[in-house]
Amino acid sequence: MTNQLNNKMAVVLLSGGLDSATVAAIAREQGFLLHALSIDYGQRHRFELESAARVAASFGVNEHKVLPIDLASLVGSALTAD
């Protein structure tokens, strides 16, 4: 049965790292139609989002959305600071 016929969908929070890629692989293996959500929080290392896009493409994700969040306006973080 194909993904579109069984209507099983999953949204994967995709960072581009090993953990979220593993979750995507498991969901795909179980026959889910994949949708991915990544968070752009102004991270210094843009390769995280680039990696998430590559992972999404490699797993044939139906749709990959990047949600921008202004984390710096909420709290200070070493992930966003210069």
Q: What is the pLDDT of residues 11-30, one digit of tens each?
A: 999 999 999 999 999 999 99
Q: Which domains are present in the chain?
A: 3-65 (3.40.50.620)
The two three-digit tokens of residue 45, written as one number: 């290392």
The two three-digit tokens of residue 43, written as one number: 């991270």
Q: Which of 3-7, 11-15, 40-44 shows the lowest mean pLDDT across its residues?
A: 3-7
How much is the pLDDT for 66? 96
Record the pTM. Answer: 0.76
Q: Is the pLDDT assigned to residue 76 strictly greater than 90?
A: no
Alpha carbons 74 and 18: distance in angstroms, whole number: 27
Of 75 and 26, the one with more pLDDT? 26
How much is the pLDDT for 9? 96
